[in-house]
Amino acid sequence: MKKQMSKLVVSALSACMAIGLCACGSTTSNTDTSDTKTETTDTAKDTSSEETATVAEDTGKTLNIEVWNEEFKSRITDHYPGYEKTDDTHGKIGDVTVNWIITPSDDNAYQNNLDSVLPGNADASEDKKVDIFLVEADYAQKYVSKDADVAMTMKDLGITDSDLSKQYSYTQDIVKDADGNMRASSWQACSAGLIYNRDAAKEVLGSDDPETVQQAVKDWDTYEETAKKMKAAGYKMSSTVNDTYRVYSNNVSKPWVDGTKVQIDDNMKAWVDNSKKEVDAGETGTAELWGDDWAKGFYPQGKVFCYFGPAWFFNFSMKADDSTSIAANGGWGFCVGPQSFYWGGTWICAAKGTDNPNLVKDIILKMTTDDSIMKEIAEKDSDCVNNKNVLKELAGSDDGNLAILGGQNPYQQLADGAEKVDMSNTSIYDQGCNEEFQSAMKNYFDGNASYDDALAQFNKAIVEKYPELTTE
């Protein structure tokens, strides 16, 4: 009897634990599928087959899409005609099964996954072939290069320049190969701005009008002064130092890597200096982006004055689906901020070796060039779409007023910003450099190291990540 009792207790306890584990496990289950995939398709690379101008027949029954989060999936689910969701990582278009392979992008995991899958894609078995993969601005050049040759050109897919004529030129320049052929297409134009807390603006600056707020943050000196006022009123100027990072890093005068040499731009040093001052004054924190500490400011009690981001940021990241958040109550405003900048953006690439080229072509056309679908995306998801006509139309009508921003219409500003974006100082090493620089400098901000020591750690980490690079 005693024995049975204790057995019962033991199994009850282990059951409790197992349930706890399942709860944790469910969020990561998506990545498992991609892991097995990586292992199975790691074969030699030989993709240079003869190309024909006409697009081949669709023979695949599975459409594999490599992504790093849920964003594109929800866009397809909501806006692609004929897509039916079957479960969290699968769907159907006609009789083709859509398989979403999600690998988080942290620490270049997503890129490493692509690196092992794409070179052997043409030889992979039918159901394993990647048909579509997505890339971000930080490393787009790596995958659209002519040498890598892992993405099909728009021309080969049968997409013409006139199809793409309404897109912003920066979104095309960054994904052109050495011959000037586009190898990816985006539905987003990611010019960004300063997103401010309207209540804080009213309380401290006297008004939540974008013009007034813009005057208070028009350059970094004025930004600092406002930060002091915010601090006095109990607000943090920004949630963490990494919020302003992109504003500085987009306005650099040279890329992270010159040849094989890593260089620190003056503007990056300026970010470090200004951020250190703000941290020491208690005007901002040092938490990492996307974490709980960082996200506190999305709620009124978090007491954060501003975040920096493009349209996908206030739609996708600011917890608008939680009724207690500031976003759900329309409590944010939008203005240009100290310097104009862009952040991210997602490009759709057709993987070389795809067995569904016509379907891929149709997805790219519908999602990145179709006026009515793109307008729908802008209205439903407050995304800033990569379509001059649609943005112009939205800027001039009440359709462009966003609830998250308390009815403000940000599209004129976003459209102006998109024309100004300059991506000439990007390199294929940007994701690694940005992540490691932020991570190393956190030590300096937290007072655990001097600037020089933190810089030395950055140099060390970069060489570990990219052995071909050298540092000063």
Partner 1 sequence: MKKKGKTSIVTRYNKWGYIFLIPFFVVFVIFQLIPLVNTIYNSFFENYMSGLNKIGPNFVGISNYVKLFEGGDLWKYFGNTMIMWILGFIPQIVLSLILAFWFSSPSLKIKGQRFFKTVIYLPNLIMASAFAMLFFALFADAGPINSMLIKGGLMSASAPFKWLSNVWSTRGLVAFMNFVMWFGNTTILLMAGMMGIPADLYEAAEVDGCKPSQVFWKITMPLLKPIFIYVLITSLIGGLQMFDVPQILTNGSGDPMRSSMTLIMYLNKHLFSKNYGMAGALSVLLLIITGILSFAVFKFTANDEAK
Contact positions vs partner 1 (CB under 8 A) = 3, 6, 9-10, 13-14, 17, 21, 24, 45, 107-108, 112, 115, 118-119, 142-143, 147-148, 150, 282, 285-288, 291-293, 296, 428, 439, 442-443, 446, 448-449, 453-454, 457, 460-461, 464-468
Rank residues 119 and 333 by Cβ distance to partner 1 and give the closer one: 119
Task: Tell me the C-alpha to C-alpha distance, in Å, between residue 203 and each of 182, 195, 261, 303.
Answer: 48, 16, 48, 12
Give the angle 54-59-64 at the CA atoms, nearest 5°.
105
**Ranges assigned E (strand) in 142-230:** 185-186, 191-197
User: Position of tokens 């390199």?
Assistant: 427
Rank residues 119 and 338 by Cβ distance to partner 1 and give the closer one: 119
d(CA 420, CA 109): 31
CB of 171 to partner 1, least distance (A): 22
- The DSSP bridge partners found for residue 91 are 85, 98
Which residue from 388, 382, 454, 380 is spatially nearest to 418, judged by alpha carbons? 388
CB of 138 to partner 1, least distance (A): 13
CB of 291 to partner 1, least distance (A): 7
Rank residues 55 and 289 by Cβ distance to partner 1 and give the closer one: 289
Rank residues 33 and 443 by Cβ distance to partner 1 and give the closer one: 443
**Ranges assigned E (strand) in 122-273:** 130-136, 185-186, 191-197, 236-238, 257-258, 261-262
CB of 239 to partner 1, least distance (A): 11
Which residue from 133, 112, 123, 115 is spatially nearest to 175, judged by alpha carbons? 133
| DSSP class of 269 | H
Extract the tokens encoding 199: 């209540």
CB of 119 to partner 1, least distance (A): 6
φ, ψ of residue 155 in degrees (nearest 5): -60, -45
CB of 282 to partner 1, least distance (A): 8
Rank residues 148 and 394 by Cβ distance to partner 1 and give the closer one: 148
Contacts of 448 (CB under 8 A, 6+ apart): none
Rank residues 12 and 53 by Cβ distance to partner 1 and give the closer one: 12
CB of 293 to partner 1, least distance (A): 5
Residue ranges of alpha helices (H) inside 233-341 are: 242-249, 266-280, 292-295, 311-316
Rank residues 217 and 461 by Cβ distance to partner 1 and give the closer one: 461
Rank residues 149 and 362 by Cβ distance to partner 1 and give the closer one: 149
Give the angle 297-28-317 at the CA atoms, nearest 5°.
25
Which residue from 259, 290, 188 is spatially nearest to 428, judged by alpha carbons? 259
CB of 70 to partner 1, least distance (A): 20
CB of 374 to partner 1, least distance (A): 31
Q: With the C-alpha atoms ordered 102, 359, 136, 126, is the resulting torsion angle positive or negative?
A: positive
- The DSSP bridge partners found for residue 65 are 100, 132
Rank residues 139 and 187 by Cβ distance to partner 1 and give the closer one: 139
d(CA 203, CA 405): 17
The crossing angle, in degrees rounded to 10, of helices 451-465 and 430-445 is 150
Q: Decide: helix, strand or coil at residue 24.
A: helix
CB of 442 to partner 1, least distance (A): 7
Rank residues 182 and 287 by Cβ distance to partner 1 and give the closer one: 287
CB of 286 to partner 1, least distance (A): 7
Rank residues 18 and 56 by Cβ distance to partner 1 and give the closer one: 18
Which residue from 249, 247, 206 is spatially nearest to 223, judged by alpha carbons? 247
CB of 30 to partner 1, least distance (A): 16
Rank residues 260 and 389 by Cβ distance to partner 1 and give the closer one: 260
d(CA 174, CA 246): 17
- Interstrand relation of 341-342 and 257-258 (parallel, antiparallel or unpaired): unpaired
Helix or strand (DSSP H, E) at 309: strand 304-310
